[in-house]
Amino acid sequence: MKLDGVELRWVEMPLRSPFRTSFGTQTVRQLLLLRAVADEGEGWGECVAMSEPVYSSEYQEGCADVLRRYLVPALTGEVDGISVVPRLKKYYGHRMAKAALEMAVLDAELRARGVSFGRELGATRDRVPCGVSVGIMNSIPELLDAVGGYLGEGYVRIKLKIEPGWDVEPVRAVRERFGDEVLLQVDANTAYALADARHLARLDPFDLLLIEQPLDEEELLAHAELAKVVQTPICLDESITSASSAADAIRLGACQIVNIKPGRVGGYLEARRIHDVCAANNIAAWCGGMLETGIGRAANVALAALPGCTLPGDTSASDRYYKLDVTEPFVLDDGHLTVPAGPGLGVTPLPEALEEVTVKTEWIPL
């Protein structure tokens, strides 16, 4: 397949309600969508970087710049999904930008071949159970209302964002109100230090599925030390950047569970490799979320359908975050989302909705 060029699209999606985590509060999702235009057709990719480098080092404008200057121009001549990342090896890092470009080329290739993302990745299910990520709230009553609402919508797992000062009490309140059967986990987004080990062990009595990324993303050995004090399984998110980093973390005892995010690890093909490393080591894995539009959501639901994704992911319905999605909305059905079965992503943007949330476009010719 030969690329004519790639269109970058700056998209701004207001969140239904502010989403607060240990790294800040978001009220709008600013992201890049990519449209790869090739001789065999076109494909869509989503860059999950935030507008600011507060989750990881990448950010929206930085991704646009590295795509414009280095990554897209490198894809001259024959290219297909599997060859994108190897062709970009000379450029260090920028995994979210690379993931978006691989995704757009892979989508174009799969649409042309009539193969779905799920089929390509090795999905074994046609629907997946969905969890939901709940932000830090101003009060416990507000949190309980939000959790009650999501349980009422059918979500099969609740994830609470935590930070020092908002951890044991919210977990205790949710357990007391909704009982011990609810699948419950927490995500600290690196907000704690190893010195907080005994404090984090106070979460052990609440039978959580996992504690996600309690420490800094580079502290693998510290997570292994933490795991000796805290009984609740440790899950890593920000720390897992590739299949080899997953293998290291598992061997070091830094995690018992892995949150797989294709954007964070450099693409859906690397995400599948991480899935395989986890499965080979009997490590539970699940598909994380970056508040994607229906474009990224479609690909994430396909990934979540792989056999080694044994825990509900953050593949929530479109209306968890957005009143209006750029594709037909993903709607929760009995706590599950259906894996798109059409060629490629199986979804395409709705032109009017896409125009409404687009703030700028840029054509990068090859």
**Residue 290 touches which of Mg ion, ligand NPQ, none (CB < 5 to 8 A by kind)?**
ligand NPQ
Q: Does 237 bind ligand NPQ (CB under 6 A)?
A: yes
Residue holding tokens 């989403």? 19
The interface with ligand NPQ within residues 31-50 (CB under 6 A) comprises 50
**Residue 42 touches which of Mg ion, ligand NPQ, none (CB < 5 to 8 A by kind)?**
none
Q: Does 187 bind Mg ion (CB under 5 A)?
A: yes
- When binding is defined by CB under 6 A, the residue of 97, 290, 353, 354 that contacts ligand NPQ is 290
Tell me how many residues contact Mg ion (CB under 5 A).
Answer: 3
Q: What is the 3-state secondary structure (H, E, C) of 186-213?
A: EECCCCCCHHHHHHHHHHHHHCCCCEEC
Q: Which residues pair with 11 in a beta bridge?
A: 31, 358
Within 8 A by CB and 6+ apart from 106, the residues are: 43, 80, 81, 82, 84, 117, 120, 268, 269, 344
Beta strands 183-187 and 234-236, pairing class: unpaired
CB of 94 to Mg ion, least distance (A): 20
CA angle 340, 344, 347 (to 5 degrees): 50
The interface with Mg ion within residues 228-287 (CB under 5 A) comprises 237
CB of 98 to Mg ion, least distance (A): 20
Q: Which residues pair with 7 in a beta bridge?
A: 35, 363
- Residue 242 tokens read as 């590739």
Residue holding tokens 């939901």? 132
User: Torsion over CA of 136, 130, 319 and 274, rounded to 10 degrees?
Assistant: 80
Contact 204, 218 (CB under 8 A): no
**Residue 38 touches which of ligand NPQ, Mg ion, none (CB < 5 to 8 A by kind)?**
none
**Residue 241 touches which of ligand NPQ, Mg ion, none (CB < 5 to 8 A by kind)?**
none
Contact 48, 96 (CB under 8 A): yes
Binding window for ligand NPQ (CB under 6 A); candidates: 2-10, 18-26, 34-42, 60-68: 18-26
- Residue 7 tokens read as 């269109």
- When binding is defined by CB under 6 A, the residue of 314, 322, 332, 335 that contacts ligand NPQ is 314
CB of 108 to ligand NPQ, least distance (A): 25
Binding window for ligand NPQ (CB under 6 A); candidates: 172-180, 263-271, 282-290, 303-311: 282-290
Could you list the active site residues?
A: 161, 261
Binding window for ligand NPQ (CB under 6 A); candidates: 32-40, 149-157, 192-200, 285-293: 285-293
Compare residues 56 and 116 and give the one whose CB is closer to ligand NPQ. 56
Within 8 A by CB and 6+ apart from 83, the residues are: none
Compare residues 13 and 235 and give the one whose CB is closer to Mg ion. 235
Residue from 238, 225, 181 nearest 57 by CA = 238
CB of 282 to ligand NPQ, least distance (A): 23
CA 181 vs. chain centroid, Å, equals 26
Residue from 204, 53, 210, 29 nearest 131 by CA = 210
Binding window for ligand NPQ (CB under 6 A); candidates: 21-29, 90-98, 146-154, 200-208: 21-29
Tell me how many residues contact ligand NPQ (CB under 6 A).
Answer: 15
Binding window for ligand NPQ (CB under 6 A); candidates: 147-155, 169-177, 287-295, 323-331: 287-295
**Residue 116 touches which of Mg ion, ligand NPQ, none (CB < 5 to 8 A by kind)?**
none
Per-residue DSSP letter, 319: G
Residue holding tokens 């018992």? 256
Please give the residue ranges that form the binding site for Mg ion (CB under 5 A): 187, 212, 237
Please give the residue ranges that form the binding site for ligand NPQ (CB under 6 A): 19, 21, 26, 29, 50, 55, 133, 187, 189, 237, 288-291, 314
